[in-house]
Structure 1
């Protein structure tokens, strides 16, 4: 390999650009028209623009990406994470074009990327599984039969893809039909495939995983364990390596199951095997992610292994070493998303007026944006990651508190204040297993308390120029709005964010009540219901389904 096209954007694209520079490869970036001046495009050796802004026109446009690769003479493609990274059709097309695919074979992606097929492989390999229904087409009737046998709660999951999208927890029989429809719609939007399956849901479980590498000679290595329990909307926010408070037997079981599953498909490249760990200590296999993960830096920080360069080496036919570096110390990663955690994690795209990233011992920052950049509304909400490492978990926690205190981002809201509240929560910062009270729904359950903690924490500890921004983010709902001319109707329903109108749930003349969902929007790859804040009759609808609108634009008028 000499010239690598990076079929991705943002933070991960920049991460791969840097690995290319370290390894002596020429890096080729692609960018949509919205990303024309993006940091990953500015940093690569070459950058080529794809027409359009929507993912399907650009970063999911296989034909256009392969055309760029052919035009510039690239000889390899790295897909990063998300987007086309787990698309076996794209992997096969890359290989058919005579290029090196830096990842597993299309066959392995097809077998493991389909969660139902992956569960069958895991079952044959002896990995423990939760009860599930895995037929060809999940219907409400089939789901009801499963619930009658296994009880509630259950979770509906997209059969293809990952990243927490296309997942819905169902706790009431009456919610089955609506939640299945929502999961299918989100899966279609995110992955182009609506198929879903249903599984028994375990309350108060931890999410643990193994970072694995496998070469073409049958060697599979578990590089480290990780804990990714802190999530919102089933999407990870905080990750650690190694997973804290695992006993040797649990680590051995995770390793054995991971190696067995990957060996069964003759896997090559980087992979992550994901599991649930119950409060009773039971471990259940969830899925395999056939790509590099967002949280890969924490493994790198505790092993000294550059996982992207290992992917390069495996793709070129290299062997994994017999003696791989042992885990030393502890590392924690905090995803910095452009979201408002106090408004149901509503995406907050916009202009970054100023950004100051933390530094100092044990601090690494992987960001896809810089001060002066604009975060567009078309893609993922993550703008970067703060990764901290220490000799042990207490030192990593101390450095994390310092690092997040140094982080300054002005111009848009992020979830950084939430992270600072989490860091001083005794359930997260516990030094012993019995005090570690974190589970996958912990943030959802404790969000109100964390919000109160974050307010006082920001007010007391943040720098003055940052404090003003953060206080405004908490108080803006009570701030008086400037006087405007009243609309021709009694009260308009406005867009809560910039995005695409995926569905209009009412029509002109319909009566609506307070709290009714009148539309569903999509922004930054997340669905957002638009809820009526007044009761009345829909007088006018000002937007068409499928259209893009800016935040605060009038969706409809109410009489």
Structure 2
């Protein structure tokens, strides 16, 4: 019987496993890097072990350190979570060799699916349909998708639309795969831009029972990484659903699988399906399956590891669940990750956190950061920028989508910019609601969504920002010069607010028919054209966050008189984020064209391209491969 579990992971998934362990009376052990020393998962565990270092390579990817931590803390079992070493057969063997219980599939099963190329050969032999590209592709075979044979999460993936680009993309994919997974093997398969990504949740015990625990659609992706997932997959015929489930079970039986896992498939527009890969671990999106089945998948992982048997049949699904991944990133700047301090993450109406609810509908929040006011979690460059997963479940798909979009709207997210607006726009898009899903959905549709009224938000901030007293801010008995405030919004727009309050009321330049009803440093109410609207405000230094009826707006308060700032020559390229230079694409003195890649930065599990802003000559290249840079570092200069 398991008495103490070390989770060889961090953040949200560590907290998720801990929640079930506490419910089952099992003690918990956390591990943490130096940046994670005060992270929520560390504080919630019964014991914690430090892994010296900051990067994943120094800490969470060091199997020997993780096994030593489990033995030192007195744990008798290890749960790998997802990512990091969760699909490492070598790590699983090391855990078992140390006399610990491995809460996952047998190492042999992991090894069988560890290489996507080997897995495809194995599945083809088992009669499972697979997608394969010809050994010598021609223009007729395009587009192609280059993929890393080991690992996942979009690392090492490249779409090739011109045959001439294939050698370069193969080389780039090999380099990225080697850095991410320690294995440079890559392969090609046909790329279906209008294909669907559908997966089947599996549970298998050690007594011969294999469950297909429903299915999920994970087609809404950016950079080949999922952002919205749902269960069950909409629009599948009974025959196709049965075919997918049978193929998934066959895949699990072919490798003697045990525990929780996922078989992933690509569905073509014509209804044909192909096996893509098998994830030999718990998936990020497992909560949607839990919400529609009532199963605690982590609890079953633990029971199976202890030798328990599954009942003959899995439970039926009920209703519909949709999950949105909230990331600290700029969706309009090629999904560029954001760093900084997350002060607050609050979602009104959340029913449960990290657990399964018996209710017919509700909201679930799984997050690895502090969610209360003043939480102060630092979002750094070392790990994935996911802030939280918000899940809505309801009797119907439309109800779940509406509930989730509304919850995202009401959430108070104070810190680095997020992809919230894109998520809500996708959830409300007619094509999404019609079930017209495919992996190119985000690129194919205009998802800019509703734009908050930043000028109005700046006025609200100015009204709230004046000193407290018996009179409204800036109030004058007689007409006087207007009050002034300056703000800077996240998109770079500067707002100069000029307003005056006197006996006749509020007068603000650029606005008409306004009446100030109430104000405080934390709230403002206005009557606008006869309609009363209210805002909540929070201030952290010179940063202001406004949550109200026109949407969420973040502003930086500026001094009325601008201070001198350092300037750079035209054509200067500055680092948009902290990261590591992974490769360069041109040499000083070389002619370059607008949009040509000059160098690549790796940050927060993604590779980001820095391109020439215009045609010209690369006059300076200030950085080298392997160099770490901070935001604002001068990387290169292109002279026209």
Q: Normalization by structure 1: what TM-score? A: 0.91
Alignment of 1:478-489 (within 5 A): 483-487=564-568
> Which of the two has greater strand per residue?
2
Of 209, 215, 219, which residue of structure 2 is paired with 1:219? 209
**In the alignment, structure 1 residue 293 sits paired with structure 2 residue 283:** yes
Other-structure match for 1:336: 326
- Following the alignment from structure 2 to structure 1, what is the Cα–Cα distance between the partners of residues 346 and 298? 26
Alignment of 1:262-341 (within 5 A): 262-341=252-331
Cα displacement (A) at 1:285: 1.1
Other-structure match for 2:185: 195
Of 150, 154, 160, which residue of structure 2 is paired with 1:164? 154
Change (3 A) 1:463 1:62: farther
- Following the alignment from structure 2 to structure 1, what is the Cα–Cα distance between the partners of residues 453 and 238? 37
Other-structure match for 1:147: 138
Most deviating of 502-511 and 385-394: 502-511
1:171-190: per-residue Cα shift (whole Å, max 9, x none)? Answer: 11121112212221221222
Unaligned 5+ runs, structure 2: 351-360, 458-532, 537-545
Of 389, 396, 407, which residue of structure 2 is paired with 1:392? 396
Preserved CA contact (<8 Å) 2:49 2:73: no
Cα displacement (A) at 1:483: 4.2
**In the alignment, structure 1 residue 499 sits paired with structure 2 residue 499:** no
- Following the alignment from structure 2 to structure 1, what is the Cα–Cα distance between the partners of residues 50 and 129? 46
Alignment of 1:183-262 (within 5 A): 183-262=173-252
- Following the alignment from structure 1 to structure 2, what is the Cα–Cα distance between the partners of residues 65 and 462? 50
Preserved CA contact (<8 Å) 1:3 1:75: yes
Preserved CA contact (<8 Å) 1:333 1:385: yes
Secondary structure of the 2:215 match is strand
Other-structure match for 2:387: 383
Change (3 A) 1:193 1:469: farther
1:48-69: per-residue Cα shift (whole Å, max 9, x none)? Answer: 1111111110010112112211
- Following the alignment from structure 1 to structure 2, what is the Cα–Cα distance between the partners of residues 181 and 482? 47
Of 525, 533, 540, which residue of structure 1 is paired with 2:605? 525
- Following the alignment from structure 1 to structure 2, what is the Cα–Cα distance between the partners of residues 344 and 462? 33
Change (3 A) 1:129 1:457: farther
Other-structure match for 1:136: none
- Following the alignment from structure 1 to structure 2, what is the Cα–Cα distance between the partners of residues 205 and 536? 39
Preserved CA contact (<8 Å) 1:357 1:407: yes
Preserved CA contact (<8 Å) 2:338 2:577: yes
Change (3 A) 1:87 1:375: same
Secondary structure of the 2:183 match is coil
Change (3 A) 1:43 1:538: same
- Following the alignment from structure 2 to structure 1, what is the Cα–Cα distance between the partners of residues 588 and 44? 49
Cα displacement (A) at 1:551: 1.4
Other-structure match for 2:362: 362
Of 425, 445, 467, which residue of structure 1 is paired with 2:429? 425
- Following the alignment from structure 2 to structure 1, what is the Cα–Cα distance between the partners of residues 638 and 398? 55
Other-structure match for 1:445: 444
Secondary structure of the 2:265 match is strand
- Following the alignment from structure 1 to structure 2, what is the Cα–Cα distance between the partners of residues 223 and 558? 55
Preserved CA contact (<8 Å) 2:593 2:616: yes
Preserved CA contact (<8 Å) 1:358 1:404: no
Preserved CA contact (<8 Å) 1:10 1:40: yes
Most deviating of 290-299 and 94-103: 94-103
The Cα RMSD (Å) is 2.4
Preserved CA contact (<8 Å) 2:261 2:280: yes
Unaligned 5+ runs, structure 1: 134-141, 431-435
> Which of the two has greater helix per residue?
1
Other-structure match for 1:4: 5
Other-structure match for 1:116: 117
**In the alignment, structure 1 residue 466 sits paired with structure 2 residue 552:** no
- Following the alignment from structure 2 to structure 1, what is the Cα–Cα distance between the partners of residues 451 and 621? 38
Q: How many residues align?
A: 535
1:340-367: per-residue Cα shift (whole Å, max 9, x none)? Answer: 1011100112111222123255100000
- Following the alignment from structure 2 to structure 1, what is the Cα–Cα distance between the partners of residues 262 and 207? 19
Secondary structure of the 2:137 match is helix
Structure number with greater CO (CA < 8 Å, separation at least 6) is 1
Q: Normalization by structure 2: what TM-score? A: 0.80
Secondary structure of the 1:308 match is helix
Secondary structure of the 1:198 match is strand
Other-structure match for 1:433: none
Cα displacement (A) at 1:270: 0.5
Secondary structure of the 2:35 match is helix
Change (3 A) 1:321 1:180: same
- Following the alignment from structure 1 to structure 2, what is the Cα–Cα distance between the partners of residues 282 and 303? 27
Preserved CA contact (<8 Å) 1:303 1:325: yes
1:513-539: per-residue Cα shift (whole Å, max 9, x none)? Answer: 432322110011100011232555555
Cα displacement (A) at 1:198: 0.9
- Following the alignment from structure 2 to structure 1, what is the Cα–Cα distance between the partners of residues 450 and 344? 21
Cα displacement (A) at 1:38: 1.0
- Following the alignment from structure 2 to structure 1, what is the Cα–Cα distance between the partners of residues 168 and 552? 36
- Following the alignment from structure 1 to structure 2, what is the Cα–Cα distance between the partners of residues 341 and 420? 13
1:115-148: per-residue Cα shift (whole Å, max 9, x none)? Answer: 1121112112211122335xxxxxxxx5xx1336
Change (3 A) 1:393 1:380: same
- Following the alignment from structure 2 to structure 1, what is the Cα–Cα distance between the partners of residues 379 and 117? 35
